[in-house]
Structure formats: structure tokens, C-alpha cells
Amino acid sequence: MTKAGIIGIGSYIPEYVVTNLDLEKKIDTNDEWIRTRTGIQERRFATEGIDSSHMALASAKEALEHAEIAAEDLDLILVATVTPDMPFPTVSTLIQHELGAKKAAAMDVSAACAGFIYGIVTAQQFIETGAFKHILVVGVEKLSKITDFNDRNTAVLFGDGAGQLSWDLYQRIRGYCRLN
């Protein structure tokens, strides 16, 4: 049986740091309250003009370089996000266009916190059934644009960023992991 595995990774972490002390100025909270309940000390927010597609594209390029795969060889780009730049075109098709991945199918999954896991499982199944060989799975969020900063229970949790995994046939794997 064909197995799927991770052959490349990439990420995008915004530069703008928002500390718990910064949040104290905006909402009724404090550093101790946040750390005690979440363990979070800081989060990152993307600046104006940096959307989900920008973060996803940057991490995609890194993941493809890691995997030593050309964008033209991708069969599928799967993006998990609840914060697309706009309703359409989807983030996956924006990445597809920018990378020049002309033969790749592209789809977005909107499943909130579980979206990236659904993406990983979907990629695994497509590879192990033989439908696709090279898949890019992207998890990206710009939650700062939808966070309610009046709700201290959730405002302290979320930040922005992107992470990528390049999936391929297990035979090509050089040491990351595979799913059983």
C-alpha cells in the first residue's frame, strides 16, 4: 500500500508582536490572568496589507524549497482557513496563480481549529489512493481581523500566521514523518 508523508515544511510568522501588556490597554484583562488560563505571553498580528494569501504564499515557497519540489509539479493545493482575503477567489487559487502551479487543483477548507487536521487527512487519502502525488497543505489565519476585542475570553487567544506541509509518497521521505 502506498503511504503518504511530510517532505517539506514552511511557515510565516508576522513581525508585529502583541504582548499581554498590550492587550491590557485594550480590554479588561492582565498578564497574570492570561498566562494562568492560557500560558500565552504574546501573539503575532499581520500588519495592514498582509492578508491570509500573503502569509500562505510566503510559507508555501519555503515548504516547496524544503521539499525540493517545483510548483509546476504540485497536484493539489489545499488551504485551511476561516479568514480568507475575500469570499472569492479562494486563498488556494490565489496561491496557485502566484506560484505558477498550473496543473494543481486548488481548494479551501473552512473548519476553524480543525481545518488543518482535515487538510492533512485529505492529503493523506489523496496520495494513498493514488489520485495525487504532490500536495501542499496550508493552514493560515488572520484572526486579528475578526477577533472581538471586547471579549477577553477569546481576544487573548488568537493571533495571525501560516504553516505549510508538503506531502508526497512515503518512498521519497527524507526524515519527517508519515501517517499510519
Task: For residue range 24-66, list pLDDT tens digits in order.
Answer: 998 999 999 999 999 999 999 999 999 999 999 999 999 999 9
Assign residue 104 the CATH number of its domain: 3.40.47.10
In a domain, 19, yes or no: no
| 110: in domain | yes
| Any domain includes 23 | no
Instruction: Report pLDDT digits (tens) over 92-149.
Output: 999 999 999 999 999 999 999 999 999 999 999 999 899 999 999 999 999 999 999 9
Domain that holds residue 152: 4-12+51-174
Is residue 74 included in any domain, yes or no? yes
The domain total for the chain is 1
State the DSSP string of the chain: ---EEEEEEEEE--SEEEEHHHHHTTSS--HHHHHHHH---EEEEPPTT--HHHHHHHHHHHHHHHHT--GGG-SEEEEE-S--SSSSS-HHHHHHHHHT-TT-EEEEE--GGGHHHHHHHHHHHHHHTTS-S-EEEEEEEEGGGT--TT-HHHHTT--EEEEEEEEEEGGG--SSEE--
Q: Give the global pTM.
A: 0.91
